Structure 1
């Protein structure tokens, strides 16, 4: 069986927060601080009104899918996936509502990325475990920008190699490495090499791997 790469989309394959911030400014007079990974603090209405969690999620629903065309490709992501697809199956696991699935497929295709897309809500551990079992892959690599998803995958599918990536340069320096990831790499050129090494080794992950392992 081929190895399997399961990758997130936003801030891994496509830039999102920088464009979300511009839209919030233009459409809602809200400043978005890219240096703050806590969105409850990053979103600051200029009239200083308080934002409820429901309101914050509502703005995301306003961005997806209506404003997805604003998003731009992360440098070297398309080339890395094209090379990895020669030896592995690839699934894009994106935390969007199900009605956005066809929009995400079309959006990625416009950027030259054509792979299976799965929408998910909540933790990614169970869907990663399901996909790993479905593909029967002996080696699986998971890439995501959010630490909570690495923890979820570590619990549900500990055999999966977990790579933490934050592709937004204005945000990455302010985001510490995910404790449950095996490595943190924010550039797809280096990430490709790390993933290829896992595929070539042909071994599942173990808890003996550390954040600095390369």
Structure 2
């Protein structure tokens, strides 16, 4: 395993963080020099696809499981046709509004984060709509993951770079989506990047993210990997 340095800096010139995201980051109480773990929520802390399938079924829709993408795989039960692209965003907004607080937690996530929290600071960086941030925060508390939450918008590199700039410390990032790893690799290259997809059906559709450092399959593995990376000398 290759470790980043104990302290880390990021390039001086970074794309601007969206104003709503920057305000959330500014409000965080972060400790400079303390190791930082940044974790996604959907398919990392919560089972997104399980909840989405229930939501789709209630609307006479289903997920086709042909690929990792949502577009093209959400189909009408009546005739098997794919949902129109222009209808996908409103559907997902309705899903987050109705189901965010109801998603099942991923096994082992709360216990692993509790283990790591003693010697790291943990931030949940989720692309949940800002309007559903409070629902996600309540779900985190309910399931034993009461950590600061940022409702991000767009690729995660800008927000991760801003967080890393705040702490200037050894850090790790966990996400299921490859383009988020790419974004972080470009803007915060010293960040150690773990690729994790909780739902095994979804994980089987996608290989290792090209810009991650390591692909992991369980939270027990994440706990041990992050502990070795951020805590143990």
Question: For residues 95-174 of structure 1, what are the structure 2 equivalents within 5 Å?
Answer: 95-136=127-168, 138-174=169-205
**Preserved contact between residue 69 and residue 107 of structure 1 (Cα < 8 Å):** yes
Structure-1 separation of matches of 2:128 and 2:158: 16
In structure 1, the residue matched to 2:120 is: 88
Deviation readout 1:139-198 (Å, 9 max, x if unpaired) = 110000000000000000000000000000221122110000000002000111111111
**Contact 2:172-2:226 at 8 Å conserved across structures:** yes
Q: What is the root-mean-square deviation in Å for CA atoms of aligned residues?
A: 1.4
Equivalent-residue separation in structure 1 for 2:146 and 2:82 (angstroms)? 40
CA distance in 1, matches of 2:185, 2:43: 21
Q: Is 1:57 matched with 2:109?
A: no
Unaligned runs of at least 5 residues, structure 2: 1-32
CA shift, 1:41, in A, is: 2.7
Q: Does 1:11 align with 2:17?
A: no
Q: Secondary structure of 1:24's partner? A: helix
Please name the residue that 1:33 is paired with.
Answer: 64
Q: What residue in structure 2 maps to residue 175 of structure 1? A: 206
TM-score, structure 1 length as denominator? 0.89
- From 69, 74, 79, the equivalent of 1:43 is 74
CA contact (8 A) 1:84 1:196 kept: yes
Q: Which residue of 1 aligns with 2:221?
A: 190
Q: Which aligned segments of 4 or more residues in structure 1 are displaced greater than 2 angstroms?
A: 33-36, 47-54
Greater RCO structure (CA 8 Å; 6+ sep): 2
CA distance in 1, matches of 2:147, 2:53: 28
Q: Any gaps of 5 or more consecutive residues in structure 1?
A: 203-214
CA shift for structure 1 position 16: 1.1
CA distance in 2, matches of 1:92, 1:20: 20
What is the DSSP-based 3-state SS (H/G/I as helix, E as strand, rest coil) of the residue aligned with 2:163? helix
Task: Report the alpha carbon displacement of residue 80 of structure 1 after superposing the two structures with TM.
Answer: 0.4
Once residues 198 and 84 of structure 2 are traced to their aligned partners in structure 1, the CA distance between those partners, rounded to angstroms, is: 28
Separation in structure 1 between the aligned mates of residue 122 and residue 135 of structure 2, nearest angstrom: 18
Is the contact between residue 35 and residue 170 of structure 1 (CA under 8 Å) also seen in structure 2? no
SS of the aligned residue for 2:72 comes to: helix
Instruction: Say how many residue pairs are matched.
Output: 200
